[in-house]
């Protein structure tokens, strides 16, 4: 990954998964286009996003309109060509088009598409997509797909029925009455996708959506959405002449909306509960409540310590190695281990974590992630976590672990804190700050271990 990043000369970049759908454990899952504005974000994406373990493409981001040339080819020879431009997409920064318009076939893009088809001796349908740079007007090739495209209905509405043409070609080898023209200015609208686009625009900020400069405002988008009487705009799915697909999609959309709304409400309550608990702890730390609780709850004998964070690639590996080194130096007989609450086994430490940890004399070069398990939890005398949220996650799976679970930040002697924030995806300075906090908290934990050693002779 480091070699790839070194070759990138312009940011931001677009990260495209090789496939829009991937089958995982027998279930088809969707992927989406991602954006990285700097090397740290790109590293984070490739460590965090599951589908980037499969082949992917990194491209320079071109600010401009998406346009495509679509065709049916006979061993590279174009039998029918069509073009459209994307007016709105989901997500708004780039994805599946939810409103698109037929346009005359641009000659430059058509030439590119035909040359590509000829070089591959392509036989069948294909889509060739471009981004037209706003400043220069130059079309940049984005991707080629040898299949039917999502906006196929627009081509049919504009006058080129590609499925019918392909059927004729596949069954007879010839096409009767190949249409050489179609109607530009016809629009196709995926209503439910367009509704999602609108809701995303209002729910998230310009920067959160990674929108390019010059994107329309929320109000402009809303007014455009409300234009429903344009005769040249056809509904892609919802049609009176064939209502069943639209009814099915609407029912499925409603079910998904209810489920996502319920999940969002649950998250809001969980966040509220966490905020209240965090505020109470902030006040409690000022009065030393944490010290009294640590003194009363700390086990009489500790032989195994388990340190947890989310991914076991940044925080818990560092704390693990720091404590392991300290107890070894002081000849304290304690076994230290670490794991992740949301990870898969066998991954390396995050590259920036491994680099910054060296400044503290910690080598994470041979670290391999471990996932928390019932055995690890049962064997531990003490479990140290980084955040309040980790306690909730842990107890949801292992309710009996509550009595031996502690917030590592509470052990810090001079500046105790409730949450030790994850530096994952941030700049080196944030890793340094996190590791400074972790080392101080681990040293505070050692104070309790020493007391235990002295108490037992």
Active-site annotation, residues: 309, 315, 422
Residue 64 near residue 215, CB atoms below 8 Å: no
The residues near 54 (Cβ < 8 Å, ≥ 6 apart) are 17, 18, 19, 22
- Phi (first) and psi of residue 295, to 5 degrees: -65, -40
SS3 category, 331: coil
Distance CA 310, CA 386 (A): 9
**DSSP code for 241:** T
Angle (CA) 214 212 53, round 5°: 165
The neighbour count for residue 23, using CB atoms within 10 Å, is 9
Q: In 3-state terms, what secondary structure has residue 148?
A: coil
Q: Go through 62-77 and write b for each residue having 16 or more CB atoms within 10 A of its CB, e for each that does not.
A: bebebbbbbbbbeeee
- In sequence order, the 6+-apart residues with CB closer than 8 A to the CB of 451 are none
Q: Is 139 helix (H, G, I), strand (E, B) or coil?
A: strand
Helices 428-455/315-329 angle, 10° precision: 40
**By three-state DSSP, how is residue 276 classified?**
helix
């Amino acid at each position: 990954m480091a070699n790839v990043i070194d070759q990138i000369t312009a940011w931001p970049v677009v990260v495209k998964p090789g496939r829009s759908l991937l089958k995982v454990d027998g279930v088809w899952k969707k992927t989406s286009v991602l954006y990285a504005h700097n090397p740290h974000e790109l590293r984070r994406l490739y460590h965090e996003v599951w589908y980037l373990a499969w082949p992917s493409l990194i491209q320079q981001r071109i600010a401009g309109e998406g346009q495509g040339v679509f065709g049916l080819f006979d061993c590279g020879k174009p039998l029918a060509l069509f073009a459209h431009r994307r007016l709105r997409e989901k997500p708004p920064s780039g994805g599946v088009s939810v409103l698109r318009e037929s346009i005359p076939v641009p000659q430059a893009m058509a030439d590119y598409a035909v040359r590509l088809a000829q070089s591959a001796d392509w036989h069948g349908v294909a889509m060739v997509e471009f981004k037209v740079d706003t400043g220069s007007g130059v079309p940049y090739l984005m991707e080629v797909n040898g299949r039917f495209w999502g906006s196929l209905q627009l081509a049919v509405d504009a006058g080129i029925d590609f499925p019918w043409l392909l059927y004729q070609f596949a069954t007879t080898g010839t096409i009767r009455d190949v249409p050489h023209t179609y109607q530009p200015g016809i629009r196709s609208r995926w209503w439910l996708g367009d509704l999602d686009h609108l809701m995303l625009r209002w729910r998230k900020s310009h920067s959160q959506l990674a929108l390019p400069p010059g994107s329309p405002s929320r109000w402009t988008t809303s007014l455009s959405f409300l234009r429903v009487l344009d005769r040249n705009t056809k509904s892609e799915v919802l049609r009176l002449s064939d209502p069943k697909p639209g009814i099915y999609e609407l029912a499925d959309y409603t079910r998904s909306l209810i489920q996502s709304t319920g999940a969002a409400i649950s998250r809001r309550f969980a966040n509220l509960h966490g905020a209240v608990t965090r505020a109470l702890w902030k006040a409690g730390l000022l009065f030393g409540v944490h010290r009294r609780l640590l003194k009363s709850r700390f086990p009489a004998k500790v032989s195994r310590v388990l340190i947890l964070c989310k991914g076991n690639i940044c925080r818990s590996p560092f704390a693990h190695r720091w404590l392991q080194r300290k107890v070894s130096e002081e000849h304290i007989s304690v076994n230290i281990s670490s794991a992740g609450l949301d990870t898969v086994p066998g991954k390396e430490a995050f590259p920036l974590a491994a680099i910054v940890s060296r400044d503290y004399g910690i080598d994470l070069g041979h670290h391999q992630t471990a996932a928390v398990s019932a055995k690890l939890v049962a064997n531990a005398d003490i479990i140290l976590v980084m955040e309040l949220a980790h306690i909730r996650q842990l107890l949801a799976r292992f309710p009996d672990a509550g009595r031996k679970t502690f917030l590592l930040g509470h052990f810090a002697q001079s500046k105790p804190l409730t949450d030790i924030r994850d530096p994952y995806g941030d700049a080196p300075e944030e890793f340094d700050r996190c590791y400074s906090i972790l080392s101080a908290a681990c040293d505070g934990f050692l104070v309790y271990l020493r007391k235990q050693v002295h108490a037992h002779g």
